[in-house]
Amino acid sequence: MGKDSPIQKDVIIIGAGAAGLMCAIEAGKRGRSVLLLEHNEAVGKKIRISGGGRCNFTNLHTTAGNFISKNPHFAKSALARFGPQEFCKMVENHKIPFHEKKLGQLFCDKSAQDIIGLLKKECLRYGVDIFLGAKVMDIAPKDFFSLTTPQQELRSQSLVIATGGLSVPSLGATNMGYQIAQKFDIKVNPCKPGLVPLTLQEKDLRIFKDLSGVSLDALVSFENRNFRENILFTHKGLSGPAILQISSYWEPKKPLSINLVPDHDMSAVLKARRTATVSLKNFLKDYLPLRLADVLCDHFLENKPLNNYSLDQLQKTGNRLNNWEIIPEGTEGYAKAEVTVGGIDTDELSSKTMETKKIPGLYFIGEVVDVTGHLGGFNFQWAWASGFAAGQYA
């Protein structure tokens, strides 16, 4: 950045992540002069590490039901105008090879860097200016937005906040978006880490930490939410896709239910074998990973031949296997969370444009908004869709 005289743009966007880059491209396409400010030394740092380095850039089955928000309908309008197919078209136009891994999840064949390359090329094509290492110290609304930086004043008609959530501070996450909202008297709903591993209470961890590395297909439930995918025991507690999914809903001090054998009614299975002389431990090895069967029988279930159990005991044992209740200690926090649940209250925004109702010209997009996707490409799809929406109007 040069010194002294103010830089004047039609649109300034703070945050060059997925949402900010998409918004910049779309506003640039409309002939708006756009300046994208990023405090990191590179754009799209989260994109680079996403999806294990291959970026799960969308999900073919995206619906508003894949998002958590105080207003479950809010995301519909933006998703209807820019869905997974629209982003796929961009990916195809740039000849980026990709594949569906499972459940509609689309990943790059080669590297997440391909998606960053696509976004950078489109920004260049539409004349978007990008300032890296940019520090915004203050924002003042006048007839325009005036941004103070160490170098000079920046001015714009429209200001788009795309600073993302709080997860993974080491990649540049800050609370700036929420601070700006507060400054402009815009409501922010409470935030918490989402898509995050859960930690176990000391008493449970003593028993389960030996299972670190063991994974199994399970159905994990909290209140009326269920996710069926793998769970993974870790040295701190539980992780794996089903746990990450439920973590976005879980509330402290409340129990999770884990169905460890989701394809079988274990009470019925055990009762059908009530005359067998096989021990419970050996019997369960056909249904559970070996080490898990051992730990459960050693610490929670009696281990004796099946024909030594009463029908009532077999019923209770089966029920426990289908409904293992555990109260996690907490989560591994923002350092390990993929997303932030909560954020800018959607009542403050137009669902069509993402513009705030209170301050004309001020927009919030992407993860900073109280719209949080499930695991599987939905968070990027929200970033693209909300960035696209704001890009049509800013």
In the complex, the residues that contact ligand FAD under the rule CB under 6 A are 14-20, 37-40, 45-46, 49-51, 55-56, 134, 136, 162-164, 167-168, 172, 174, 176, 338-339, 366-367, 377-380, 383
Contact indicator for 28, 128 with CB cutoff of 8 Å? yes
Query: 176 vs 326, which CB is nearer to ligand FAD?
Result: 176
Supply the minimum distance, in Å, between the C-beta of residue 363 and ligand FAD. Answer: 12
Helices 84-93/113-125 angle, 10° precision: 80
Phi, psi of 206, rounded to the nearest 5 degrees: -55, -35
Query: 17 vs 197, which CB is nearer to ligand FAD?
Result: 17
Closest residue by Cα to residue 369 from 343, 340, 338, 341: 343
Supply the minimum distance, in Å, between the C-beta of residue 90 and ligand FAD. Answer: 15
Supply the minimum distance, in Å, between the C-beta of residue 93 and ligand FAD. Answer: 20
Supply the minimum distance, in Å, between the C-beta of residue 146 and ligand FAD. Answer: 16
Supply the minimum distance, in Å, between the C-beta of residue 377 and ligand FAD. Answer: 5
Tokens found for residue 28: 């640039």
Query: 69 vs 221, which CB is nearer to ligand FAD?
Result: 69
**Residue 47 to residue 78: CA distance in whole angstroms:** 21
Query: 280 vs 371, which CB is nearer to ligand FAD?
Result: 371
Supply the minimum distance, in Å, between the C-beta of residue 105 and ligand FAD. Answer: 8
CA dist list (Å): 79 to 66, 138, 357: 11, 32, 20
Tokens found for residue 172: 């540049």
Query: 11 vs 216, which CB is nearer to ligand FAD?
Result: 11
Query: 54 vs 281, which CB is nearer to ligand FAD?
Result: 54
Contact indicator for 55, 107 with CB cutoff of 8 Å? yes
Helices (H) and strands (E) in the chain, counts: 13, 21
Helices 378-391/18-29 angle, 10° precision: 30
Q: Which residue is nearest to ligand FAD (CB)?
A: 17
Query: 288 vs 339, which CB is nearer to ligand FAD?
Result: 339
Query: 47 vs 270, which CB is nearer to ligand FAD?
Result: 47
Supply the minimum distance, in Å, between the C-beta of residue 343 and ligand FAD. Answer: 10
CA dist list (Å): 301 to 188, 203, 230, 285, 364: 46, 16, 23, 14, 52
Closest residue by Cα to residue 353 from 318, 391, 306: 391
Strand partners, 146: 140, 155
Contact indicator for 242, 195 with CB cutoff of 8 Å? no
3-class DSSP state of 263: coil
Query: 144 vs 378, which CB is nearer to ligand FAD?
Result: 378
Supply the minimum distance, in Å, between the C-beta of residue 138 and ligand FAD. Answer: 12
3-class DSSP state of 249: coil
How many CB atoms within 10 Å of residue 329? 16
Beta strands in 320-378 (DSSP E): 324-326, 330-331, 339-344, 362-364, 372-373
Supply the minimum distance, in Å, between the C-beta of residue 359 and ligand FAD. Answer: 19
Query: 196 vs 321, which CB is nearer to ligand FAD?
Result: 196
Q: Which helix (H) or strand (E) holds 158?
A: strand 152-161
Supply the minimum distance, in Å, between the C-beta of residue 354 and ligand FAD. Answer: 11
